Amino acid sequence: MCGIIAAASNRNVGKLLVQGLHKMEYRGYDSAGIALHQKDQIAHLRTLGKVKLLEEKMIAEKPKSKLGIAHTRWATHGKPNQVNAHPHKDQSGNIVLVHNGIIENYDPIKKFLRSKKVKFKSETDTEVLVQLIGYFFNKGKLNFEQSVRAALQRVDGAYGIVVLNKKEPDVMIAARRGSPLVLGIKDKEFFIGSDISPIIKHTQQIIYLEDAQMAIIDGDDYKITSINEDVSLPKKVEKIDFKIDDYDKGKFKYFMHKEIHEQIDTIRNTITGRTKKDSIMLHGLLDYWPEIKQADKIFITACGTSWHAGLIGKNLIERFAEVPVHVEYASEFRYNKTLVDNNSIVIAISQSGETADTLAAIKKANDYGAITVGICNVPGSSVSRETNCGIFTRCGHEVGVASTKAFTAQISILYLLALKLADSNDTMSKKAIKEHLDYDEGIKKIKNILNKENEIKKIALKYKNANDFLYLGRGLNFPVALEGALKLKEISYIHAEGYPAAEMKHGPIALVDKDMPNVFIVPKDKTYEKIISNIEEIKSRKGKIIIVTDSKDKILKDLANDLIYVPKTNHYMFCVLATIALQLFAYYIAVGKKLNVDRPRNLAKSVTVE
Ligand code: AGP
């Protein structure tokens, strides 16, 4: 959601903070701001709109500082405007803070502070927190650290914060609960980020702050402590191996486009090293494999695109390993009555590893004694730390808000997991498993789809002015239809729905008229004849038909207004290829509408609030 970058250094930090904000514009983008400590005062600049406007202000005002905090905002409480932009100050101007997350009990705290004559300027929940810290600090009984701790002990909700105090020019305090924060260390320089993207350029030595931890930077020194008590905690410094390249668009205009093209490598990376002839090695699950392989039911929980991957996982695990799988949105799982117990396996899927609902679902599963398994892309993220065991998707940093390479990596992992379970449960022969693991040819076929880019672009542009789309598929390709529709909605703002193809007769067909495009995903498999009947049904209502298929049958040519051919492979690879075709289709519709594909309106990359 919002993005935070902070730095303490011996050099001027203004420029690097603004550069960091640019790296995080994909997270939040309605306003931006910066606060720079200047010994006896704090320079405070905020702008509505893009980081570029803040940068222009910085160039004009040239504030110098060795300690500062900066923020890009994705509005939750209060409209996007300059007054609501971060950093926020307390009434005395002593305390300045940036925040990512939501303070849930802001209302009673605000009433309390108002009763103490505190005046508020913004509509944000964040201002309540900075005013509360200021309230404790200005009373004079608590020092800066104690004031931050006292305030945090009184707030509910999720937060990652960094706070400055006008009276202490060398001190910066960071704290987190729920929302992620990382601390980067390089000699005597310190960097704090809501993720590693703004700091990776400066250091690869990272501490992932854990829930309820605080980091206090004081000159050349720092300590890790707890929000709950004044104790010194171990400094767990890790060397991260993300490449700086992951944060550059290279020859592409948009990250989404770059990430679509990366899939030939990312899928290979995800699988490589985990298979050998007919065996699958998922080392991250080793300690819990005896329990996982005996599961008589598996739960999968996730949000958005990761939830779609979960539906594909269900299909594969049930098909290969014959274990029933229940897939539930994490936002529902966390509140619904659960049948999870200490014999259950709960798989949580998340690209970012920081999605608030997914984390809450993991917590619930842990509380019920289940074995929790994370499928996640970010080492050190909350999902990777809160689950008992897990597998990383290894597809590199995903910047585009519309998830692409993470989805195909997630389904690759679920494919391996399903085959490994099938192997352990003897539900598939070694020979069949070996055939499935002969994936190299399949992966090469991704190139074929990427080479068809111009063809897909031409088709996409024909439909860019449509108002509604239906995406229809069966079996493994029903989630592919959901994902295709989600991609289109997110980046082109065209209403699109995914359905199991036959289900469309039970309501959605009422929407179909001559202007409505219907995207059918049609592999030549056992449902082929059935899906052709579904296409006929739409055709007879004059709907436009776009078919993604691996069949050259004439009947499809006769039925389709447009055809996107994908090369012949197995079931799993077909859904990967069809997904990539639909990613490109959505991408070119959005580009055709001249939309900023990497910064879709109202969306943020990582949803760290409930
Ligand atoms: C995907 O294109 C979305 N932007 C979104 O649905 C995303 O998949 C969802 O928010 C879950 O994120 P996660 O995988 O990081 O948990």
Model pLDDT for residues 352-365, shown as the tens digit of each residue: 998 999 999 999 99
Instruction: Tell me the sheet residues that pair with 186.
Output: 189
The DSSP code for 233 is: B
Q: Is 339 exposed, middle or buried (0-12, 13-18, 19+ CB in 10 A)?
A: exposed
Task: Out of 26, 195, 303, 608, give the residue to mutate to test ligand 1, the one with the largest number of ligand atoms within 8 Å of its CB.
Answer: 303
Task: Out of 260, 305, 413, 608, give the residue to mutate to test ligand 1, the one with the largest number of ligand atoms within 8 Å of its CB.
Answer: 305
Does position 460 have pLDDT exceeding 90, yes or no? yes
Nearest Cα neighbor of 392 from 373, 405, 407, 379 is 379
Q: Are the C-beta atoms of 10 and 189 separated by less than 8 Å?
A: yes
Mean pLDDT of 520-533: 94
Both tokens assigned to 527: 């449902």
Output the CA 202–ligand 1 centroid distance in Å: 27
pLDDT band for 351, please (50, 70, 90 cuts): very high
Instruction: Note the pLDDT of residue 247.
Output: 67
Does position 242 have pLDDT exceeding 70, yes or no? no
Does position 499 have pLDDT exceeding 70, yes or no? yes
The residue nearest atom 6 of ligand 1, judged by CA position, is 304
The DSSP code for 210 is: P
The residue nearest atom 9 of ligand 1, judged by CA position, is 304
Output the CA 148–ligand 1 centroid distance in Å: 32
Instruction: Note the pLDDT of residue 245.
Output: 62
The residue nearest atom 5 of ligand 1, judged by CA position, is 304
Distance CA 348, CA 565 (A): 33
Residues annotated as catalytic (active site), given as ranges: 2, 605
Q: Which atom of ligand 1 is nearest to the CA of 352?
A: 15
Output the CA 418–ligand 1 centroid distance in Å: 23
pLDDT band for 385, please (50, 70, 90 cuts): confident
pTM: 0.78
Does position 607 have pLDDT exceeding 90, yes or no? no
Output the CA 29–ligand 1 centroid distance in Å: 17
400-453 pLDDT, tens digit each: 889 999 999 999 999 999 999 999 999 999 999 988 887 788 888 999 999 999
Instruction: Note the pLDDT of residue 203.
Output: 93
Residues with CB under 6 A from ligand 1: 303-306, 350-352, 355, 358, 401-403, 490, 606-607
Nearest Cα neighbor of 386 from 358, 411, 344 is 358
Instruction: Tell me the sheet residues that pair with 182.
Output: 193, 208
Both tokens assigned to 468: 């509604």
pLDDT band for 560, please (50, 70, 90 cuts): very high
Q: Is 176 exposed, middle or buried (0-12, 13-18, 19+ CB in 10 A)?
A: buried
Does position 235 have pLDDT exceeding 90, yes or no? yes
Q: Are the C-beta atoms of 160 and 180 separated by less than 8 Å?
A: yes
Output the CA 443–ligand 1 centroid distance in Å: 24
Question: CA dist 546 to 82, 121, 171, 479, 519, Å?
Answer: 45, 53, 60, 17, 5
96-132 pLDDT, tens digit each: 999 988 888 999 999 999 999 999 999 999 999 999 9
Task: Out of 197, 351, 587, give the residue to mutate to test ligand 1, the one with the largest number of ligand atoms within 8 Å of its CB.
Answer: 351
Mean pLDDT of 246-250: 73
Instruction: Note the pLDDT of residue 444.
Output: 87
Mean pLDDT of 574-590: 97
532 phi, psi to nearest 5 deg: -65, -40
Mean pLDDT of 312-325: 97
Give the number of other Cβ atoms within 10 Å of residue 293's Cβ: 16
Distance CA 181, CA 213 (A): 10
pLDDT band for 335, please (50, 70, 90 cuts): confident
Is the pLDDT higher at 157 or at 254?
254
Query: What percent of the chain shows pLDDT beyond 90?
Result: 71
Output the CA 330–ligand 1 centroid distance in Å: 12
Nearest Cα neighbor of 116 from 103, 99, 134 is 134
98 phi, psi to nearest 5 deg: -115, 150
Output the CA 408–ligand 1 centroid distance in Å: 13
Output the CA 350–ligand 1 centroid distance in Å: 7
Instruction: Note the pLDDT of residue 115.
Output: 97
For the packed helices 405-425 and 263-271, what is the interaxial angle rounded to 10 degrees? 30
243 phi, psi to nearest 5 deg: -90, 145
188-225 pLDDT, tens digit each: 899 999 888 888 889 989 998 988 999 999 999 999 99
- E-assigned strands of 31-170? 31-38, 41-48, 67-73, 88-89, 95-103, 157-165
Instruction: Tell me the sheet residues that pair with 165.
Output: 95
Q: Mean pLDDT across the chain, nearest whole number?
A: 92
Q: Which atom of ligand 1 is nearest to the CA of 302?
A: 16
Does position 578 have pLDDT exceeding 60, yes or no? yes
Task: Out of 382, 397, 607, give the residue to mutate to test ligand 1, the one with the largest number of ligand atoms within 8 Å of its CB.
Answer: 607
Q: Which atom of ligand 1 is nearest to the CA of 490?
A: 2
Q: Which atom of ligand 1 is nearest to the CA of 304?
A: 6
Task: Out of 1, 256, 355, 408, give the residue to mutate to test ligand 1, the one with the largest number of ligand atoms within 8 Å of its CB.
Answer: 355
Distance CA 40, CA 62 (A): 17
Sheet holding 468-473, edge to edge: 495-500, 468-473, 517-522, 544-549, 562-565
Distance CA 436, CA 278 (A): 9
Output the CA 178–ligand 1 centroid distance in Å: 17
Instruction: Note the pLDDT of residue 18.
Output: 95
The answer for residues whose C-beta is within 8 angstroms of residue 506's C-beta and 6 or more apart is none
39-69 pLDDT, tens digit each: 889 999 999 988 999 999 999 988 899 999 9
Residue 556: half-sphere exposure toward Cβ, Cα within 13 Å:
22
Instruction: Note the pLDDT of residue 277.
Output: 74
Instruction: Note the pLDDT of residue 353.
Output: 92
- E-assigned strands of 74-212? 88-89, 95-103, 157-165, 171-177, 182-186, 189-193, 205-208
Q: Which atom of ligand 1 is nearest to the CA of 406?
A: 14
pLDDT band for 293, please (50, 70, 90 cuts): very high
What is the per-residue burial (b if ≥16 Cβ within 10 Å, else e) of 214-239? bbbbbeeebebbebeeeeeeeeeeee
300-311 pLDDT, tens digit each: 999 999 999 999
